[in-house]
Chains A and B, each alone.
Chain A
Amino acid sequence: MTTDDRVPVTVLTGFLGSGKTTLLNRILTEEHGKRIAVIENEFGEIGVDNDLVVNADEEIFEMNNGCICCTVRGDLIRILSTLMRRRERFDHILIETTGLADPGPVAQTFFMDDELAERLRLDGIVTVVDAKHVWQHVDDAPEVAEQVAFADVILVNKTDLVDPPDVDRLEGMLCTMNAVATVHRTTHGEVDIDAILAIGGFSLEHALEVDPAFLQPTYPFEWAGVFGAGDDDLVIDLDPGPDEAIDLLALSVSEASPAALDEVLAVATPVFTDGPAAIASGGVMVPGHTARLDVGDQGASIAVHSSGAVAIFTQHGPDEFRMRFRRGIAPTEPAAARGFAPDHEHDESVTSVGLTALGDLDEDRLKEWLGTLLQEKGVDIFRSKGVLSIAGEPRRYVFQGVHMLMDGTYGAAWGGDERRSTLVFIGRDLDREALEQGFAACRA
């Protein structure tokens, strides 16, 4: 690894009154030994005391780059190019945006301009949220959601003015919108400087830190249980329920334990959505394939052809069809079970979708899917990150993107680690099911 001597850039966003300028002044007056240049929008809330402040005028330019159209901040290209002629004079750049600014063009500027990309690196986007007043804006100002969606770090500021349960509720909402940002609770913008100026939010090395556990994924099934081994097939009996049919999946597991259930969850989603085969009552399910059981108005029974420990995933909760389980004729209960809330509790338009799959992806299908996705839905996808396992490739493929623009490279070798792919999209009106299906279709 060569050391990256590019000057880091931090983008500071947040609504008017969120405390952005207070935070900026804290950063500038703190004894951190860094010489910081500040690019401020002309409508700064209060003046900034620094020996190098340049005014930005938020000129958004459309750029055509072959088949990709995107917007960049022309003023930033001009300002940053000029600042680089004072190279010896500072070692960090802070860009403060207006409360109404879309962070998209700012981030895209660092993808689209070679000169800047060679000399500067976007370290992260920090969004300051006013814990007390954000509720007034979040529904009627799309910029708030955008700024939250783009953030690598969110500062929930002015927490001293709000009751803790309300802060919890706010943090929950922010997490739903942006599941990968780090949230800090602050008063008067008091936060450790490294949490702001050393984020690595756009670094591909940090893309490796995408943790699917953060993502509180939603599942295409509402219930899962694991059953111990037995001499006879496991049979599921169902009464008529709210639907004519129900999708069911069985997967073999090493043991009937909560840990084994959690383990198998990661792989269940793509299999579950992978085109179920219709089965009539009295049929047999083979582990690893989803069955669509016709329950009708008579009820149905289905056997799982497995004598080992097995996990069962059902489209609806057991109570909806009064599901019973038996081995042969002996009733049995799951050793561990979990219910999953159906995915229609939030109607926020900005959400995070995390996708994960064990094993490999097919490179050609992945390129085709991602390419088409970013072309067609890129406007609504604010940020994306991923660590992917490509069939036949010993190294991890890591990527991160902003709207339609993507930056990817091969990173560390998998070695003895379990090969798996993890992807995160943060965007508006994301179709989780379509994303899951598209991703599942890329599996090698």
Chain B
Amino acid sequence: MPGMSDPTMQSLLGSVERVDGLPGLPADLSWSPDGTRLAAGLGDGPVVIIAAGGSPDAISVLAGHDGGTTSVAWRPRDADLVASGGLDGAIRVWSASGAHAARVQEVSPIDWVQRVAWRGDGALLAGIAGRALVVLDDDGITRRFDDHESTLTDLAWHPRGRAIAVSHYGGLTSWSPRHADGTPRRFRWKGSSLRLAWSPDGRHVATGDQDSTVHFWIMKNGKDLQMWGYPRKVQELSWDSLGRHLATGGGPEVIVWDCSGAGPAGTEPLVLDVDGTPLVAVAFAPAGRAMAAVTDGGTLAVWDMRAPISAGGQVELPAAATALAWSPDGRRVAVGDAGGGVSVAGIAA
């Protein structure tokens, strides 16, 4: 089902090239800081390094995680190191060039690692497994926070690295890794929070929830705001680079909230259609004005957020999308698909 694109629409999309034949479905994608390579964590286990400067090309296949890789994160300011987590309950740090062996950190004997994320300066790596949040430095685990009442579903660093927020059934918990005996801040909501995103200005944490709602937590005072009416559970969230707009999925349309001024309460969000099938991911470019979304129906859509109704573009992928990631300069976007491929689309300046 191709999305009908308005012929008068200014197309943002340049060429789209795809590498396929990967040994599994990309569950997560992460770009190298210089935008020349991509790490793809596959649901079947391996981590694949893809050269993405020109036509995408798989250059090495790393063992990854037995049972499946859930998360990959290229280390900030580092051309070589990629962290990954997976069903084997371990966090691994790989050398993309194969220059040295992977570092392995066993986190849990029974629970898998759901997500790994580096602090912005690349000095610390956080991961979640079961009810535990762990923080690693170059020597291994430096902090372990086990005090959660249910399994952790997502994690995000404060944009300036001051704290780590984790989501779970019952809301959010925020930890400060600098204080060994730090007490956490609890943000309670009687529901199952699935994903979270910390706004780049640090003011808000948004969560997507199982009960088809989105929550905005104001971190300063712990107040929250709930947005209803989503057709499905919300697992797709992205802040723009200024922290003003939040794009959400939770169904076939991208819903964009304006969180400036008094916040999104009572405001009308912008609603953008793609192809009528459920969204798999939405993401604002880390730089520039573009936003992208991919769907289960296999469409990549991009919008120029200065004029989202009239400027953008869509392209059909060969299979349902599974992951989405912007290059650090916002000039290219990578999409993983259920056909075992990764496409890289150029974005017109």
Contacts and interface: CB of A to CB of B under 8 A. Distances in A.
5 contacts: A54-B67, A63-B192, A82-B43, A86-B43, A114-B233
A74 B43 contact: no
Nearest to B149: A59
Contacts of A65: 211
A89 B210 contact: no
B42 to A, nearest CB: 8
Nearest to B212: A65
Contacts of B210: 61, 63, 72, 74, 77, 113
Interface in B7-30: 24-25, 27
A137 interface: no
Interface string B17-55: 000000011010000000000000001100000000000
B227 to A, nearest CB: 15
A74 B167 CA distance: 13
A78 B153 contact: yes
A42 B151 contact: no
Contacts of B338: 87
Given A87-B25, A89-B44, 14 more contacts: A57-B111, A57-B151, A61-B192, A62-B190, A63-B211, A64-B191, A65-B211, A77-B210, A85-B25, A85-B43, A86-B43, A87-B338, A113-B210, A114-B278
Contacts of B322: 85
A75 interface: yes
A115 interface: yes
A114 B190 CA distance: 20
A85 B320 CA distance: 11
Contacts of B153: 78
A309 to B, nearest CB: 59
Given A59-B169, A61-B192, A74-B210, A82 B87 contact: yes
A52 interface: yes
Interface size class of B (residues with CB under 8 A): 20 to 34
A55 interface: yes
Interface in A58-95: 59, 61-65, 72, 74-75, 77-78, 82, 85-89
Contacts of A77: 210
A82 B85 CA distance: 13
Contacts of B114: 78
Nearest to A63: B211
Interface string B141-156: 0000000001101000
Contact of B233 (A52, A86, A87, A115): A115
A139 to B, nearest CB: 33
Interface of A: 42, 52, 54-55, 57, 59, 61-65, 72, 74-75, 77-78, 82, 85-89, 113-115
B70 interface: yes
Given A55-B110, A86-B43, A74 B211 contact: no
Nearest to B43: A85
Interface string B231-252: 1110000000000000000000
Interface in B72-117: 87, 110-112, 114
B103 to A, nearest CB: 24
A75 B27 CA distance: 19
A59 B151 CA distance: 8
Contact of A74 (B68, B87, B151, B190): B151
Contact of A82 (B24, B70, B110): B70
A54 B68 CA distance: 11
Contacts of A82: 43, 68, 70, 87, 112
A68 B170 CA distance: 19
A364 to B, nearest CB: 27
Nearest to B296: A118
A57 B211 contact: no
Contacts of B87: 54, 82
B115 to A, nearest CB: 12
B44 A113 contact: no
B130 interface: yes
Contacts of A54: 67, 87, 112
Contacts of A88: 44
Q: Which of B68, B191, B278 has the most CB of A within 10 A?
A: B68
A75 B114 CA distance: 12
A22 B278 CA distance: 41
Contacts of B24: 85-86
A42 B110 CA distance: 8
Contacts of B43: 82, 85-86
A420 B191 CA distance: 42
A62 B130 CA distance: 19
A93 to B, nearest CB: 14
A65 B111 CA distance: 29
B127 to A, nearest CB: 16
Nearest to B25: A85
A325 B112 CA distance: 77
A64 B233 contact: no
A54 B87 CA distance: 8
B151 A75 contact: yes
Given A55-B111, A59-B150, A86-B24, A74 B169 contact: yes
A89 B192 CA distance: 29
A87 B319 CA distance: 13
A52 B150 contact: no
Contacts of A62: 190
Nearest to B192: A61
Nearest to B110: A55
A22 to B, nearest CB: 23
Contacts of A75: 151
